[in-house]
Amino acid sequence: MELGRNTKQKQLILEVIKKEKNHPTISDLYEEVLKIDPSIGQATVYRNVNKLLDEGKIKRIITDSGIRYDCDCNNHYHLECSKCGRIMDIYDDKYMKLTRRMEEEYSVKIDDCTVLFKGICDKCLKYEK
């Protein structure tokens, strides 16, 4: 029984991360989880987030506004907007070529890469005009 509940809680937290488009922080997550299941405590949210990280189901991104979580584990970049604080996803297939080249050049194997650009997002730029 206990195992069933744990699995359900983990599933729920993963669902919330997927639903939250803007790379939620742990407190964003907790707030959303509470709306669905008020019986889940903060420690449970932390524990399950760490489990999901260990299992490779989510990724951690470190931004100026704190640690955020991303359910998209494909390699991609982020842009942190200095106006609205949005963390925008940026996909660029040159990334793969770049890592291949670096692997050859330095005789290493690259598993992951964290790039955080800082600037102004497309929406804020549009408003400025």
Interface ranges with Zn ion (CB under 5 A): 70, 72, 81, 83-84, 86, 89, 121, 124
Choose between 21 and 109: whose C-beta lies nearer to Zn ion. Answer: 21
Contacts 24+ apart (CB under 8 A), 39-48: 40/9, 40/12, 44/9, 45/13, 48/9, 48/10, 48/13
Cα 90 to Cα 72: distance, rounded to the nearest angstrom: 12
Instruction: Report, in Å, the least distance between residue 97 CB and Zn ion.
Output: 20
> Residue ranges of the alpha helices (H) in 20-76?
26-36, 42-54
Choose between 34 and 121: whose C-beta lies nearer to Zn ion. Answer: 121
Tell the residue number behind the tokens 């407190």, with chain if given: 27
Instruction: Report, in Å, the least distance between residue 110 CB and Zn ion.
Output: 18
Instruction: Report, in Å, the least distance between residue 86 CB and Zn ion.
Output: 5
Instruction: Report, in Å, the least distance between residue 102 CB and Zn ion.
Output: 22
Choose between 29 and 40: whose C-beta lies nearer to Zn ion. Answer: 29
Choose between 10 and 23: whose C-beta lies nearer to Zn ion. Answer: 23
List Cα–Cα distances, 8 to 3, 11, 15, in angstroms: 9, 5, 10
